[in-house]
Amino acid sequence: MTELCTRVRALSEETAAATVADRRHLHAHPELSFAGHATVRYVRERLDALHIPYRKVAGTGLVAEIRGGSGPTVALRADMDALPIQEKNEVAYRSQTPGVMHACGHDVHTAALLGAARILLPLKDRLGGTVRLLFQPGEEKLPGGATLMLRDGALENPVPQAIFGQHVHPPLPAGTVGFRPGIYMASTDELFMTVCGRGGHGAMPHQTVDPIVITAQVITALQQLVSRETDPTLPVVLTFGRIESEGGATNIIPNAVHLQGTLRTLDEDWRKELHQRLRRTAEGIAAALGGTAELEVRHGYPFLKNNEALTRWAQAEARTLLGEDRVVDLPIRMTGEDFAFYSHRLPACFYRLGVGGPGHANSPVHTDTFDVDEGCLRTGASLLAWFALRRLT
């Protein structure tokens, strides 16, 4: 194992320039969810140059395979879409697409998976099976590209014995990775609610049914579903991030108010129950105050669960490749990820890739100043390759 570890590290260094070039190209040419035509074309060109066969799936996704022996299959996944954000970084590779930016690191994920392929090819004779590379579109937008990858058979014929995915994490320095066995990330549902009343003059509220006042009561009551009806040991988040009225002014009571929010949990049964309680509570309070409330729940991603045995194995393997001090434990997160769909189908491990470093703002993901220490690409590529090699050696 020592010889193989040394070889993977050396190949990571030898291919680092190409991996950085991939990341910079992708960062400079971001595309939104399910519109990544140039992105997938670029990935196809790289795979063609490496003579790695692939097939198209999920519209703008790819499934590629590096085939070794006749043993099992291991899947490695990267998402490819960007966000509707105008980049503020003044770097040579800044986004050239107005209003679109790789602010969540999916350019890093895609480049690292291509880098892993470059590392694996010279070691193909060591593979006692097949490495399946999933280049997935649309992680940032419902229904989630993972659902379309599954629909198109990305995890079939045969079903992989395990799947690995990684995500950039600015709080961790480049060269470091983090793991959490078991339940790790929350389910995510989108909420859209309309509260209707009867508008009128703000100085004569008795002649109206004020939907703004009703909305205030509804929001307060719905938060009590979290604070008073949810088991205190079960994490739940309910947030309304957008509230708008129809028309209105300082002295006008509108006819309706529109709300948008998110619901996140770590328990699928309680998630379903909350859907019903949210709707029942909103409708009841609005009716009691003379108005109406209609709630639409757009089902998002389930909670993400890391297979306990696989993730502890991955932690140990990461320590072997990177060093004991480069692997940390992670807390539960209430953010969501469509990798969760894979985690409910087969043993899965989703971990965090440190990207922070000197000279970088270390801005959070989904901000207009997000960037990475590109040393993270060597870690990301080598670790993906190492996991595949160790599972199939």
How is residue 328 written in tokens?
Answer: 């940390």
Of 116, 295, 270, nearest to 195 by C-alpha is 295
**Average pLDDT score, the chain:** 96
pLDDT for res 94: 97
Contact 197, 246 (CB under 8 A): no
Has residue 393 got a pLDDT over 90? Answer: no
Q: What is the mean pLDDT of residues 89-96?
A: 96
Cis preceding linkage at 181, omega within 30: no
Choosing among 3.40.630.10, 3.30.9.10, 3.10.100.10, 3.30.930.10, the CATH entry for 2-184+303-392 is: 3.40.630.10
pLDDT for res 246: 86
Contact 310, 348 (CB under 8 A): yes
How is residue 308 written in tokens?
Answer: 């306990």
| Cβ-based neighbour number of residue 71 at 10 Å | 14
Q: Can you tell me the distance from the alpha carbon of 182 to that of 3, in angstroms, rounded to the nearest whole number? A: 32
pLDDT for res 227: 95
pLDDT for res 320: 97
The radius of gyration of the chain's CA atoms, rounded to the nearest angstrom, is 24
Q: Of residues 87, 139, 210, 371, which has the active-site annotation?
A: 139
Q: How confident is the model at residue 112 (pLDDT cuts 50, 70, 90)?
A: very high
Q: How confident is the model at residue 2 (pLDDT cuts 50, 70, 90)?
A: confident
Q: Read off the pLDDT of residues 6-64 as tens digits, 9 standing for 90 and up.
A: 999 999 999 999 999 999 999 999 999 999 999 999 999 999 999 999 999 999 999 99
pLDDT for res 362: 80
Q: Tell me whether strands 162-173 and 348-356 are parallel, antiparallel or unpaired.
A: parallel
**How much of the chain exceeds pLDDT 90, in percent?**
96
Q: Where are the domains of the chain?
A: 2-184+303-392, 188-301
How is residue 204 written in tokens?
Answer: 């004569």
Q: What is the pTM of this model?
A: 0.94
Q: What is the mean pLDDT of residues 293-303?
A: 97
Contact 129, 389 (CB under 8 A): no
Q: Of residues 22, 31, 81, 371, which has the active-site annotation?
A: 81
Has residue 328 got a pLDDT over 90? Answer: yes
Q: What is the mean pLDDT of residues 165-183?
A: 97
DSSP string, 214-230: HHHHHHHHHHHHHHTSS
How is residue 56 written in tokens?
Answer: 């198209």
Contact 350, 167 (CB under 8 A): yes
Q: Read off the pLDDT of residues 232-287 as tens digits, 9 standing for 90 and up.
A: 999 999 999 999 998 878 999 999 999 999 999 999 999 999 999 999 999 999 99
Q: Can you tell me the distance from the alpha carbon of 365 to that of 76, in angstroms, rounded to the nearest whole number? A: 22
Does the annotation mark 13 as catalytic?
A: no
Q: Read off the pLDDT of residues 315-324 as tens digits, 9 standing for 90 and up.
A: 999 999 999 9
pLDDT for res 95: 98
Assigned CATH for 188-301:
3.30.70.360
Does the annotation mark 244 as catalytic?
A: no
